[in-house]
Chains A and B, each alone.
Chain A
Amino acid sequence: MGIAIGQPAPSLELATERPPADGRVRVGLRYLAHNRQLTLGIVLLGLLIVFVILGNLLYDVGRHRPLSVLPGRPPSAEFPLGTDSQGRDILAVMIAGTPLTLRMGILAGFLGVAIGTVLAFAGAYYGGLLDSLVRGVVDVGLTIPTFLVLIIVAITIHSAMTIEQMALVIAALAWLWPTRTIRAQVLTMRERAYVHVARLSGAGNLKIIFFELMPNLVPYLAASLVAAVAAAILASLGLEALGLGAVDSPTIGMTIYWVIFYGALLQGMWWWFLPPIVVVVMLFTGLFSLSAGLDEWANPRMRKSV
């Protein structure tokens, strides 16, 4: 958990030249060549998605269920990543679990950013009592470590959750950080010249929000979304490692829980805990790079680096 969620990782590369406008695809490709963070993120996440799709096509994913294969086998031709103590095929677990974990994160992250966007616009654009309320709740909420509150929420529900319920639990607090950062963006945008021009030409509030502010915020919202998804996945992994989550699902976090529960390490079953860790590293490196890359795209003047 070394990454502060929502703070975009510092970008590595500096894109200098403006690409000549010859064909959209070529411009896009040339931009990717400059924005290496974005490229790295897309490649890593793409690899994971290809792995899941190919796995579903070529492999017997049904073997992710307990007792479906011989337990405790090291990697072999039959089980490329071995099997765990409860008779799950680890490769099948990874193929089935990666999309589940992603779905949980995307659902929670999307809800968080959606709620955050609405609250941020309502607060920052209309101001007044509503804004004070939103700001107060966010200030207090962000001081309380979310993970611990999530533990209480999950304990309260306790019975085995579905992936969707788990996503809802995490989304319950996932909107705090997006609300704060998007609100700050709206506050600066509200006073830009083009918004004043739109208002002077008689555009209504909703029209200004949806046709003037939103389009300019899209790259920023995308970066926030990716950061929120990463935060949600991190939270889900932590909760599941404690045994609070979708206990019946073969997610990455539950795999870690079983690894700890059965002491896979003391039995030397490296094939049980290395695959989920590799997936997690690819997932987070991919998401952080994507977020930093989108951030650079959203805010070229903020490009930080050497």
Chain B
Amino acid sequence: MRLNYLVQRLILFVVVVWVAATINFVLPRLSGGNAIRTQLTQQAATGGYVQSNIDAMVAEYDKVFGLDKPLWEQYAIYLWNIGHFEFGFSMANYPMRVSTLMVNALPWTLALLGLSTAIAFSVGIFLGGLLAWPKTPRFIVNVLLPPFLTLSAVPYYMLGLVLLWVLAFQTHWLPIFGAYTPGVIPDWSDLEFWKDVGIHMILPALSIVLSAVGFWALGMRAMMVTVQHDDFVQFAEAKGLKGRTVFFRYAGRNALLPQVTALGLTIGHILSGALLVEIVFSYPGIGNVLYRSIKAYDYFAIEGIVFGVIVSITLATLILDLIYPKIDPRITYVRS
């Protein structure tokens, strides 16, 4: 029974990845456009070279990329390539491979997203609990709630623009763009470089944290209010346990569970938001690569990145689902 769930979940994962891959394959071909022709025409228009041989060039490239083969064969090759993360070359940064582009950018995105989400989640959960605790002074609730409501309504990247303007442009407290001071050669053995990276990460991370904290706090608060009146909480109170114990260990722990589920459900939204934050801050992560690829009509790079990100999010959701029993002992995926 429980094992069934695990198998089901794995099948869903494979299906989702396959659907995403197929969308990635089918959609661009539906439009009837030819990515290579678009790219060449684009280059011809900006570079000003003669356009007469474009047809021959397109035919040649089609052969190189295997685009002259029947559709089902292309699809099979495509699935095989994507199966081992082979997305071909970036058209705008030839001869760089799309996978190289992604591997270079990924650590930055992971660090920024992981750190800010972890901070936002834990701080939000804590503040949300505090907001619902009957002993919390009223004025704290009144001071915290309105900004939470407003901030959680602002997309990360717009909050980023405001923070950038106030904390970097006006006051010069923090750097304006990038992941480290331009011109510095990355040297991870140097402590100064770590410091530099840290300072550059403050603003982009802050814009995600500030906006996300409100969301987690409001969700946690709503759950706490509901759980507070549950039987087991009243029983714990009746047993004469300390108010704090009842609140955090009984009510808090149970109110936490839906928040973890929500984390799994919203991880896609969080990431989409973080990608846009990177653009605002010219942070060298996946979002920035995506932005530049879109500007350069670099279809292969766009498709590779979108697919890669979809797979990572699906994987993250899967992992979260599988560690869920650790947090909630009532759920077990393995027969005991």
Residues of A within 8 A of B (CB): 1-5, 7, 9-10, 12, 139-140, 143-149, 151-153, 155-158, 234, 237-238, 241-244, 256, 259-260, 265-266, 268, 270, 273-274, 276-277, 280-281, 284-285, 288, 304-306
Query: For chain A, what secondary structure do more than half of its interface residues adopt (helix, strand, loop), or is it mixed?
Result: helix
Q: Which residues of A contact B266 (CB under 8 A)?
A: 4
Is there an interface contact between B27 and A152, defined as CB atoms closer than 8 Å? yes
Query: How many angstroms between the C-alpha atoms of A277 and B166 in the bound complex?
Result: 14
One of B156, B221, B225, B302 near A1 (C-beta < 8 A):
B156
Give A270's nearest chain B residue, CB to CB. Answer: B165
Query: How many angstroms between the C-alpha atoms of A147 and B310 in the bound complex?
Result: 10
Give A148's nearest chain B residue, CB to CB. Answer: B306
The size class of the interface chain B forms with chain A is 35 or more
Query: How many angstroms between the C-alpha atoms of A12 and B162 in the bound complex?
Result: 27
Is there an interface contact between A5 and B222, defined as CB atoms closer than 8 Å? no
Is there an interface contact between B306 and A281, defined as CB atoms closer than 8 Å? no
Is there an interface contact between A304 and B269, defined as CB atoms closer than 8 Å? no
Is there an interface contact between A144 and B154, defined as CB atoms closer than 8 Å? no
Is there an interface contact between A281 and B153, defined as CB atoms closer than 8 Å? yes
Residues of B within 8 A of A (CB): 12, 15-16, 19-20, 23-24, 27-28, 30-31, 33, 38, 132, 145, 149-158, 161-162, 164-165, 169, 176, 211-212, 214-215, 218-219, 221-222, 225-226, 262, 265-266, 268-273, 276, 279-280, 290-291, 294-295, 297, 299, 302-303, 306, 309-310, 313-314, 317
Chosen A-B contacts, 20 in total, with CB atoms closer than 8 Å, are A1-B276, A4-B265, A12-B145, A143-B16, A145-B271, A147-B268, A147-B269, A148-B268, A149-B23, A149-B310, A152-B306, A155-B299, A158-B31, A238-B276, A256-B158, A260-B279, A266-B169, A277-B162, A280-B158, A285-B149
Q: Which residues of A contact B24 (CB under 8 A)?
A: 152
Give B228's nearest chain A residue, CB to CB. Answer: A306
Q: Which of B151, B158, B221, B297 has the most CB of A within 10 A?
A: B158
Query: For chain B, what secondary structure do more than half of its interface residues adopt (helix, strand, loop), or is it mixed?
Result: helix
Q: Which of A12, A145, A243, A285 has the most CB of B within 10 A?
A: A145
Is there an interface contact between A304 and B12, defined as CB atoms closer than 8 Å? no
Is there an interface contact between A277 and B154, defined as CB atoms closer than 8 Å? yes
Query: How many angstroms between the C-alpha atoms of A144 and B315 in the bound complex?
Result: 11
Is there an interface contact between A7 and B262, defined as CB atoms closer than 8 Å? yes
Q: Which residues of A contact B271 (CB under 8 A)?
A: 145
A175 to chain B, nearest CB (A): 16
A10 to chain B, nearest CB (A): 3
Query: How many angstroms between the C-alpha atoms of A148 and B152 in the bound complex?
Result: 22
A108 to chain B, nearest CB (A): 16
Is there an interface contact between A306 and B225, defined as CB atoms closer than 8 Å? yes
A81 to chain B, nearest CB (A): 16
Query: How many angstroms between the C-alpha atoms of A201 and B226 in the bound complex?
Result: 39
The 9 A-B pairs with the shortest beta carbon distances in the complex, nearest first, are: A145-B268, A1-B273, A10-B222, A284-B153, A147-B272, A2-B211, A2-B215, A2-B152, A4-B266
A279 to chain B, nearest CB (A): 10
Q: Which residues of A contact B294 (CB under 8 A)?
A: 151, 155, 242-244
Is there an interface contact between A265 and B317, defined as CB atoms closer than 8 Å? no
Query: How many angstroms between the C-alpha atoms of A1 and B266 in the bound complex?
Result: 10
Q: Which residues of A contact B299 (CB under 8 A)?
A: 155
B269 to chain A, nearest CB (A): 5
B114 to chain A, nearest CB (A): 17
One of B15, B155, B302, B303 near A237 (C-beta < 8 A):
B155
